[in-house]
Amino acid sequence: MDKELQRIADEVEMLSGKLKALKQEIGKVIIGQEETVSQLLITFLAGGHALLEGVPGLAKTLMIRTLANAIDLKFKRIQFTPDLMPSDIIGTEILEEDHTTGKKFFKFNKGPIFSNIILADEINRTPPKTQAALLEAMQEFEVTYGDKTYPLDKPFFILATQNPIEQSGTFVLPEAQQDRFLLYIKIGYPTKQDEEAILKATTGTFKKKLNKVISGEDIVRLQQLVREISISDALITFVSDIIRATRPETTTDSYVKDWVDWGAGPRAGQAMILTAKANALLEGRLAVTLNDIKSVALPVLRHRVLVNFRAEAEGITSDKVASHLLNTIEVKGK
């Protein structure tokens, strides 16, 4: 092993210890949901944003708040409502007076978007105009107000939640905005054992205290290390084959031709490779395996593959399409 690879391996080992400590801190409050927690950490390591979907009471908000409380970064929660305006998120100019000269001037008062971790709670309860206020921040990591552009602090993450069963007063996220989310994470009900543990832990008087176990600088360095994780050409080709197979125009798969309207774009392939690298790093490895790719494929593709009306009527989802492709496409040139 050369010196550069050894240096990376040593750094990964040191930072992996902090990631384990972070998982332990989250585990003090969040019982079960290991897969969801891992996917949130993968989002952080890959430098992207996540959309969490689950019915009420599954601790979506608590999970994100707990994660933020264990990281030494600025955190803000924005409760999305039908009357929320873009200026409530980005900020607005206010008229101030210079007490020495008496001159009046406009000063930009920064909104809650100027934090490191943003919890966009129930994002689908606000109109598209306000949802669109997040687009520039999510993609460019900056905010424009008037003729000025303000950079956001890094690292910067938006973790949004939405309720899949509530229809009244909700607004479906535009496909362009959904595509900005690195992962679309679905949270299921806890197991019987986990649910009993939740009931026991949350109905008493004892409240566990969280410690900040990892810094913003550590997160930034981990994001850099993710891109140094190696992936073979064969696995890159496999990812490309999966992405291209989701498109009715380029696929030879009759299942996709029958049930899919629109396939995933190149951003999906980028997301799959980056999150697979992040998953490898999270497990303390320096190279991507096939299992890394398969473990992130569903949350990467479920909001980027659009099935047709017939598929929806038959109960065929984008998850089923992705699972079908993962089971039928093989890695070439292993």
Exposure class string for 137-170: b at 16+ Cβ within 10 A, else e: bbeeeebebeeeeeebeebbbbbbbbbeeeeeeb
SS3 content of the chain, % helix, strand, coil (to 5): 50, 15, 35
Put the strands of the sheet holding 157-162 in their side by side order. 75-79, 117-121, 157-162, 50-53, 183-186
Structure tokens at 178: 């959904």
Secondary element (H or E) of residue 62:
helix 60-69
Angle between helices 60-69 and 3-29 (to 10 degrees): 130
How many C-beta atoms surround the C-beta of residue 309 within 10 A?
8
What is the reported pLDDT for 209? 79
**Residue tagged 């602090």 (tokens):** 153
Residue among 180, 202, 199, 182 at smallest CA distance from 191: 199
- pLDDT per residue rounded down to tens, the chain (334 residues): 577 777 777 777 778 888 888 888 888 888 888 888 899 999 999 999 999 888 777 777 888 888 888 888 888 899 888 888 888 898 888 888 777 777 887 788 888 999 888 888 888 888 888 888 887 788 888 888 878 888 988 888 998 888 877 666 677 787 777 888 999 998 888 888 888 887 887 777 767 778 888 888 888 888 988 998 999 999 999 999 999 999 999 888 999 999 999 999 899 999 999 999 999 999 888 899 999 999 999 999 999 999 999 998 999 999 999 999 999 998 886 6
Amino acid identity, position 39: Q
DSSP line for 142-211: EEEETTEEEEPPSS-EEEEEE-SS--TT--PPPHHHHTT-SEEEE--PPPHHHHHHHHHHHSSS--PPP-
What is the reported pLDDT for 233? 94
**HSE-up of residue 321 (Cα within 13 Å, Cβ side):** 37
CB 111 within 8 A of CB 90: yes
Beta bridge mates, 121: 79
Structure tokens at 165: 């069963």
Amino acid identity, position 73: L
What is the reported pLDDT for 298? 95
In the chain, CATH 1.10.8.80 covers 229-333
Contacts of 218 (CB under 8 A, 6+ apart): 15, 18
pTM of the model: 0.88
What is the reported pLDDT for 334? 60
Structure tokens at 285: 């490895």
Distance, in Å, from the CA atom of 326 to the CA atom of 334, rounded to the nearest integer, reads 16
In the chain, CATH 3.40.50.300 covers 14-227
For the domain 229-333, what is the CATH code? 1.10.8.80
What is the reported pLDDT for 1? 54
| Cα angle 11, 13, 18; round to 5 | 95
Pairing of strands 91-97, 104-110: antiparallel
What is the reported pLDDT for 43? 93
Structure tokens at 159: 């973790």
How many C-beta atoms surround the C-beta of residue 230 within 10 A?
13
Q: Is 91 helix (H, G, I), strand (E, B) or coil?
A: strand
Distance, in Å, from the CA atom of 40 to the CA atom of 49, rounded to the nearest integer, reads 9
Q: Which CATH number fits domain 14-227: 3.30.420.80, 3.40.50.300, 2.60.40.1180, 3.40.50.2300?
A: 3.40.50.300
Contacts of 15 (CB under 8 A, 6+ apart): 218, 221, 222, 225
